[in-house]
Amino acid sequence: MHHYLFSLIFFAALLGAVNTVAAVPEAATDFSRAQLYEHLPGGAGSSGKRGKNAFLQPAANLSFANKLDFKIGESIFAKFWVFSPSSTQASDGLGPLHNARSCMGCHIRGGRGHVPEGNWPIDNAISMLMRLSIEPQNEQQRALLASGEVPFIAEPTYGAQLQDFALQGMPAEGRISISYTEQPLTLADGTLVSLRMPSYSLADLNYGPLHPDTKFSVRIANPMLGLGLLEAISERDIMSLAEAQERSAEGISGRPNRVWEHSSQSIVLGRFGWKAGSPSLNQQNSAAFATDMGLSTPLFKDAYQGDCTVAQQQCLQAADGRSAHLGGLEVAQQMSQMLDLFVRNIAVPKRRNVADSQVLAGKKVFYDSGCAGCHQPSFITEQDAADEQAGQLIWPYTDLLLHDMGEGLADHRPEFLANGSEWRTAPLWGIGATAAVSSKTEFLHDGRARNLLEAILWHGGEAAQSRDKIINIDGSQRAALLAFLESL
Ligand code: HEC
Ligand code: HEC
């Protein structure tokens, strides 16, 4: 009897252990050949297509019926919204203030946004945006922030974001003006690199001065691949990585963002956006409709005037696109669902050259330099996720945690628990397809890095040791690391 009980407890403990570690697979130790399934970063849904439409492919394991809905979702993602009133009732309600007319306008071909080339009006900041906020000014704002229900206190006149477009006859809020200072850097082997440090200012502010303590955060649109798989990573696995980092002495200590989930009215783990400020794809997508385009959705029914503030009466009084046949919304329930399905199921492209000797050597540099400490290579997704995402071995190269990245990258602007120098580890899957999708490469939250090496050299804070290793290795090892990243 005693014996039986003992083995039962032992067995339960074993199961418990399996449960907590199984979903975060062991790190690679053998770099002489590729790991099993490493070439399929998006699991069974990985797509064989690369090239300029690499980030618009349906997951390969989507059912036929869902593939049709994916196509409809894609057309909503690409749809150009128009102002109200309009004869095309299913596409109106844009703005009045807005940043773009379509999701695709920023997430270009499903890829990332870019820094405007040259100065306005030659190119405006469509796929780049600026968030605005202030320190809480009174007890009420302090209490609101402390409740965890808002990410920050919006700037009182301009709102949460600067909109650089408006309805005809109504002034836009203003525009972002960027200038760069080149900072030369010599690597240990004599290679000369230059990093461009951005400096942002605002021009043509049409609604008067900003609050004197306004904080800014400039971001380009993230690439859209594999997002449903990131949503299907178990919270338990993300927390176990945070705990393991806390225990280890390597100077890496990621922590989760905790954000307000509107559907459940509760505080949950943040996963999406450059500071992991959004908990789910539905909320992220609905927030984009609201703030970037001024459109109301089932989640944000009152967002039909977008980011207008009480200081912007003309904006508040403009016509909107709500109509009875769309359930009193601008983006009806079904449209929102199809869009979510599309966003959840964009495939991750298969990797290239996984067994190439230079790529494998670069993979070793990646591990030896501590990159994998934050860019967690693989997970097994939750079994109870949607069919296409459930129980998949995936290789996103992120822990979805926030890390202090140092002064160089800091925006000095908090978002929920993320402070002014913390950013979510950016997923690296598909990063080698960036040039093909975007015709050029611009990395990091504000697109300042013009190539992968610059992106690495901007790493500071918890990643400073990692960066220094890359500065100090010889050119052939660095080339191998870049070949590995290009193979992702
Ligand atoms: C004006 C440009 C712009 C438009 C329009 C836009 N986005 Fe975004 N999108 C961004 C930026 C910038 C981010 C990063 C936001 C952050 O860090 O909080 C982002 C982030 C996202 C993410 C999170 C991706 C990740 O890796 O975490 C999703 C999902 C997304 N957008 C979906 C959409 C959808 C769907 C639409 C259309 C309804 C849309 N976006 C419209 C600029 C835009
Ligand atoms: C302490 C955690 C940490 C370590 C260690 C780390 N990174 Fe990162 N990495 C990040 C974060 C956070 C970002 C996003 C920063 C931003 O956008 O400002 C990022 C961004 C990147 C990007 C740009 C991704 C994009 O989509 O724009 C690349 C490339 C990258 N890291 C490669 C590496 C390599 C290679 C190493 C090892 C030399 C490394 N990282 C080490 C946390 C880390």
Ligand nearest to the CA of 222: 1
**Beta-bridge partners for 343:** none
Among protein residues, the one whose CA lies closest to atom 10 of ligand 1: 221
pLDDT in tens, 277-311: 999 999 999 999 999 999 999 999 999 999 999 99
Residue with tokens 């809905």: 69
Q: Cα–Cα distance between 407 and 423 in angstroms, integer? A: 12
Give the ligand whose atoms come closest to the C-alpha of residue 465: 2
Where b means 16+ CB within 10 Å and e means fewer, 178-187 reads beeeeeeeeb
Among 9-18, 35-44, 178-187, 207-216, which stretch is predicted with the lowest mean pLDDT?
A: 9-18
In contact, 275 and 215? CB cutoff 8 Å? no
Identify the pLDDT of residue 20. 42
pLDDT for the residue 124? 72
The residue count of the chain comes to 488
Question: How confident is the prediction for the chain on average, in pLDDT?
Answer: 93
**Of the residues 80, 107, 217, 405, which should be mutated to test ligand 1's pocket, given the most ligand atoms within 8 Å of the CB?**
107
Q: If DSSP codes are grouped into helix, strand and coil, which group holds residue 131?
A: strand
The residue nearest atom 31 of ligand 2, judged by CA position, is: 456
Query: What pTM did the predictor assign?
Result: 0.95
- Residue 37 in contact with residue 420, Cβ under 8 Å? no
Q: How confident is the model at residue 10 (pLDDT cuts 50, 70, 90)?
A: very low
Summarised one tens digit per residue, pLDDT across range 431-447 is 999 999 999 999 999 99
Q: Given this model, what pLDDT does residue 123 score?
A: 65
Separation of 386 CA from ligand 2 center, angstroms?
29
Q: Tokens for 321?
A: 């696109």
pLDDT of residue 278: 98
Q: What are the boundaries of each domain within the chain?
A: 20-487
Q: Indicate the pLDDT class of residue 9, thresholds 50, 70 and 90.
A: very low
303 lines ligand 1 (CB under 6 A): no
Share of the chain above pLDDT 70, in %: 94
Measured between its terminal Cα atoms, the distance across the chain in Å is 54
Residue 129 has pLDDT above 60, yes or no: yes
In this prediction, residues 46-66 reach a mean pLDDT of: 97
Q: How confident is the model at residue 125 (pLDDT cuts 50, 70, 90)?
A: confident
Q: What is the spatial distance between Cα 25 and Cα 23, in angstroms, rounded to a whole number?
A: 6
The answer on pLDDT for 207 being more than 60 is yes
What are 462-473's pLDDT values in tens digits? Answer: 999 999 999 999
pLDDT over 90 at 4, yes or no: no
Q: Is the pLDDT of residue 3 over 60?
A: no
Please count the other Cβ atoms lying within 10 Å of the Cβ belonging to residue 318: 22
What would the pLDDT profile of 339-353 be if each residue is shown by its tens digit?
A: 999 999 999 999 999
* Model confidence band, residue 119 (pLDDT cutoffs 50, 70, 90): low
Question: Would the CB of 222 count as within 6 Å of ligand 1?
Answer: yes
Distance CA 451, CA 410 (A): 19
User: pLDDT (tens digit, 9 = 90+) per residue, 365-387?
Assistant: 999 999 999 999 999 999 999 99
